[in-house]
Amino acid sequence: MLPSEPALVPTQLAPAPTPASMAPSESALVPTQLAPAPTPASVAPAGSPQYEFTYSENSIIGNLGSKMSFVGLFMLGIGLFFFASVIIRWVQSHHLEVALLFLTLLFIVVGIWTHRAGREFRSVAESHGKDISHLMGALENLLKLYTLLYLLFFIGLIFAIIQLGAHGLYGS
């Protein structure tokens, strides 16, 4: 089918002739008439008004956004502090602690995404006419955060299963 051709959908169905392998009560239906498929609802233009949350909903969303933003900045601060600590230890002892560096980077990334999501949630509460856009921005940052955590937990689970299998095979 070419892009300019409309899709066809059946408008009337009739029983098909039954093959010998089918019971008479299991008749199949075949289309007898085809018509163009209905066009999907168009997406609202960018300038059209969006859903607006009520005052009480904005209060809850804004409160959540403020707390998430604070937690994100706090985690970012802890991550930067640990990063500086890892670098100082590395310069002094010429030994890089990879596990602590990984934890540091995890704190930094989770802090950034949590702060961004919180900022977007606050924008939902403070703006007018752009609630859905800000809400989708917040959800996008949360999706990034939870995708990372999902992958880390999945990898950790795989290593735990491998460790349990090795322990079962070789003992303690």
- Assess if residue 45 is contained within a domain: no
Whether the predicted pLDDT of 18 surpasses 60: no
Look at residue 51 in the predicted model and tell me its pLDDT.
84
Residue 166: its pLDDT value, please?
83
122 or 10, which is more confident?
122
Higher model confidence: residue 155 or residue 51? Answer: 155
Range of the domain at 89: 55-170
Domain presence at residue 42: no
pLDDT at 14 over 70: no
DSSP letters for 47-66: TSPPP---HHHHHHHHHHHH
- d(CA 142, CA 75) in angstroms, rounded, equals 15
Please say whether the dihedral angle defined by the alpha carbons of residues 131, 137, 141 and 147, taken in this order, is positive or negative: positive
Per-residue pLDDT, 26:
53
Considering only CA atoms, which of 104, 115, 107 is closest in space to residue 141? 115
In a domain, 44, yes or no: no
SS3 state at 106: helix
Residue 107 domain flag: yes
Tokens of 118: 């919180």
- Is 69 within a domain? yes
Domain-embedded: residue 151: yes
| Percent of the chain clearing pLDDT 70 (strictly above) | 70
- pLDDT, tens digit (0-9, with 9 covering 90-100), for 49-72: 678 889 999 999 999 999 999 999
Domain assignment present for 95: yes
**Confidence band (pLDDT; 50, 70, 90) for 42?**
very low
* Mean per-residue pLDDT over the chain, rounded: 82
78-101: string of b/e by CB count within 10 Å (b at 16+)?
ebeebbeebeeeeeeeeeeeeeeb
> Which of 8-17, 52-61, 127-136 has the least mean pLDDT?
8-17
**Runs of H (alpha helix) within the chain:** 55-93, 98-126, 131-170
Per the model's pLDDT, the better-predicted residue between 4 and 104 turns out to be 104
Domain count, the chain: 1
What type of residue is 2? L
* Residue at 152 is within a domain: yes
Whether the Cβ atoms of residue 108 and residue 80 lie closer than 8 Å to each other:
yes
